Each structure stands twice: as structure tokens, then as C-alpha cells.
């Protein structure tokens, strides 16, 4: 199949490279400083998905009308979703499908606003990727398989086909009929660990310290209250039930991982905090639910963003 990867950073390059390895027609759209080394030397992938050198892949920083992808994998930062979809509209066929592989809550609604719900698929990726060098990606850790699901929660033939393609390419995946539950589950995980890892400059394992975990407890308590008010069904019946799962099941396999938010701040980049803890603050205001800890975290990250850009 013909794939276009929009926002080909570490995640996008890893997905695109694995698909190209299996013979799919893949075009990466990303920053030229990352794309040029791939054109010249191929794309190197290492880590838990194996070691590969992929040369049969198109890597560019410019969109062209002749790409005509069947599937678009959107891997941009969440704050770039609207702009990316504006850029894509003129270059993708009317029967193409756009799959969000992004962090945070709200990306699918933005995508559907441009191409319609029928052409929008949601993806949940909870795997660690690191751009070791320009043109070289390391797949570091996975807390779960990639989940793919339709917005109407119906398991369709196309979603099953996409998951089959991913698995054949070496990307462990499964189709689900409750994708929003997975999206919110990842948002809880990210909002609990990413900002505190960035603020304290520690790996995830260090956040099990009672002082740090007490902050996480407050973050999650606020977030689950907001989810209940919003009518979102979660996998866990209470904040405490999720916190036990986070502590016992999710943090241990990723304990040495540092958040991408920390790397963004160190590199003077904008973070996705508005689509993580910021969403809980926004929805809290909507339902008149206080979210002071999440709001403090958002303000702290924005302070660090500003400090790193001076």
C-alpha cells in the first residue's frame, strides 16, 4: 500500500521504515535535516524492533501531488495537527484514510473536521522512540501494543487490514472497538509521568518516590473526575485503581525512560502540555471542577519552555 508519514520524527520514521522494509510504498515528510541523511544513507532502525537499514523509502520535506497515498499516518506534535491537515488537504485523494498516531486528546476531532469522521482512524502508540542521529532511530521500550480503532467503535475490515499490515511489518498492533478508552488511558499515563520527568529531570522510575507520587495521585484524581463529568468511560473504576496499575504495571518496564517532554525543553522546543494536562484543565473549567495541580503543572512546563527559548 501507499503510505505517507506526515511529521516524520522518531516515531514516524520508525513506523515508515518498518513498513518500507516489507515492500510498502512509503513517503516520509519531515524536517530536511532529518530527511537528507535518509535520502543519502538510508534509514537505520535499532532497538526492540530489530536492526534494519532501509533504503527503499522516499524522504522529503516537501509535499507533492503525485504521492496519492492510500493511508496517511499523522505523527506531528498535537499543536501542529490543524496546520498539518491544512497542508495535506490538497495533496491526498478523497478516498484516503488519515490515522492519528499522536499524543494527547482532541487530535481525531481536528482531523475529522478536515476529512470527515469516516476517513479518520485513531491510533494509540505507547512505545518509546529516540532519534539517535539524523537518519537513525532507536526503538527503546514498549508498554503495550499499538491500538487502532474507528471513531464509531466498529471493527471494520479496513482497520483489521491496517493492523495486519502493521504486524507483518514488525509493529506489534491490534484492532480495538473502544479506541477512546485507550486514548484516555495513554493521556493519563503521559500526563502523570511526562511533565514531572521534565520538571524534576529524572527517569520514570524515580517518580515512584512518595513525594513525587503524591503529586501524580493529585493529577490523576483531578483527571478522572473530569473524565467522569465528560462521560468518558475508563478502564479503571477509580483513580486509586489506575494509580495501582501505573505503579505496578506501567512504570516498571519503562522505569529508565526519560520523557520526550524533557528532551523538547532541553532543545528549546514547544511541548504538548496543552493536549495532556492542559486538556484536563480546560474540561475542568467546562464542568466547574477544580484542577489546581494540573494547572500548576501546565504553568510549570510553560515556564520551562520559555526559559529554554531565551
DSSP for 115-170 reads H-GGGEEEEE--EEEEEEETTEEEEEEESS-EEEEETT----HHHHHHHHHHHHTT
Angle at 229 between CA 298 and CA 197, to 5 degrees: 25
272-299 confidence digits (pLDDT tens): 999 999 999 999 999 999 999 999 999 9
Q: What values do phi and psi take at 95, rounded to 5?
A: -105, 10
Which of 99, 106, 152, 146 lies closest to 121, judged by CA? 99
For residue 309, what is its C-alpha cell? 527559548
85-128 confidence digits (pLDDT tens): 999 988 899 999 999 999 999 999 999 999 999 999 999 998 98
Buried b / exposed e along 31-54 (16+ C-beta atoms within 10 A): eeebbebbbeebbbbbbebeebeb
- Cβ-proximal residues to 143 (8 Å cutoff; 6+ apart), any chain: 126, 127, 189, 250, 253, 254
Q: Are 15 and 52 in contact (CB under 8 A)?
A: no
Q: Map out the domains of the chain as residue ranges.
A: 2-177, 181-308
Give the pLDDT band of residue 142 (cuts 50, 70, 90): confident
Q: Which CATH number is associated with domain 181-308?
A: 1.10.1040.10
Which of 12, 14, 5 lies closest to 49, judged by CA? 14
pLDDT of residue 310: 57
Average pLDDT over residues 173-182: 96
255-270 confidence digits (pLDDT tens): 988 888 998 999 899 9
Q: Are 200 and 212 in contact (CB under 8 A)?
A: yes
Q: Which of 23-27, 75-79, 140-144, 264-268 has the lowest mean pLDDT?
A: 140-144
Largest CA distance in the chain: 55
| Catalytic residue annotation | 186
Helix (H, G, I), strand (E, B) or coil at 57: coil
- Strand arrangement of the beta sheet that strand 146-150 belongs to: 58-60, 25-29, 2-6, 71-74, 97-100, 120-124, 146-150, 173-175
Q: Which CATH number is associated with domain 2-177?
A: 3.40.50.720
pTM over 0.85: yes
Amino acid at each position: 500500500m501507499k503510505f505517507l508519514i506526515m511529521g516524520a520524527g522518531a516515531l514516524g520514521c520508525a513506523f515508515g521504515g518498518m513498513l518500507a522494509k516489507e515492500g510498502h510504498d512509503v513517503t516520509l515528510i519531515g524536517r530536511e535535516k532529518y530527511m537528507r541523511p535518509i535520502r543519502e544513507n538510508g534509514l537505520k532502525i535499532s532497538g526492540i524492533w530489530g536492526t534494519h537499514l532501509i533504503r527503499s523509502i522516499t524522504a522529503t520535506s516537501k509535499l507533492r501531488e503525485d504521492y496519492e497515498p492510500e493511508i496517511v499516518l499523522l505523527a506531528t506534535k498535537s499543536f501542529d495537527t490543524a496546520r498539518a491537515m491544512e497542508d495535506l488537504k490538497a495533496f491526498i485523494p478523497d478516498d484516503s484514510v488519515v490515522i492519528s498516531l499522536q499524543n494527547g486528546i482532541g487530535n481525531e476531532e481536528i482531523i475529522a473536521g478536515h476529512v470527515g469522521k469516516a476517513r479518520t482512524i485513531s491510533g494509540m502508540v505507547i512505545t518509546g522512540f529516540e532519534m539517535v542521529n539524523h537518519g537513525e532511530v532507536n526503538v527503546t521500550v514498549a508498554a503495550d501494543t499499538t491500538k487502532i480503532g474507528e471513531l464509531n467503535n466498529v471493527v471494520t475490515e479496513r482497520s483489521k487490514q491496517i493492523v495486519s499490515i502493521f504486524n507483518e511489518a514488525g509493529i506489534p498492533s491490534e484492532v480495538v472497538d473502544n479506541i477512546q478508552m485507550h486514548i484516555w488511558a495513554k493521556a493519563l499515563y503521559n500526563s502523570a509521568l511526562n511533565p514531572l520527568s521534565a520538571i524534576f529531570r529524572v527517569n520514570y522510575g524515580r517518580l515512584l518516590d512518595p513525594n513525587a507520587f503524591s503529586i501524580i495521585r493529585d493529577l490523576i484524581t483531578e483527571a478522572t473526575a473530569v473524565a467522569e463529568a465528560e462521560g468518558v468511560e475508563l478502564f479503571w473504576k477509580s483513580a486509586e485503581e489506575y494509580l495501582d496499575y501505573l505503579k505496578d504495571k506501567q512504570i516498571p518496564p519503562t522505569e529508565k525512560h526519560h520523557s520526550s517532554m524533557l528532551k523538547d525543553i532541553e532543545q528549546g522546543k514547544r511541548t504538548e502540555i496543552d493536549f495532556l494536562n492542559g486538556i484536563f484543565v480546560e474540561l475542568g473549567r467546562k464542568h466547574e471542577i477544580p484542577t489546581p495541580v494540573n494547572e500548576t503543572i501546565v504553568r510549570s512546563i510553560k515556564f520551562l519552555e520559555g526559559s529554554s527559548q531565551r
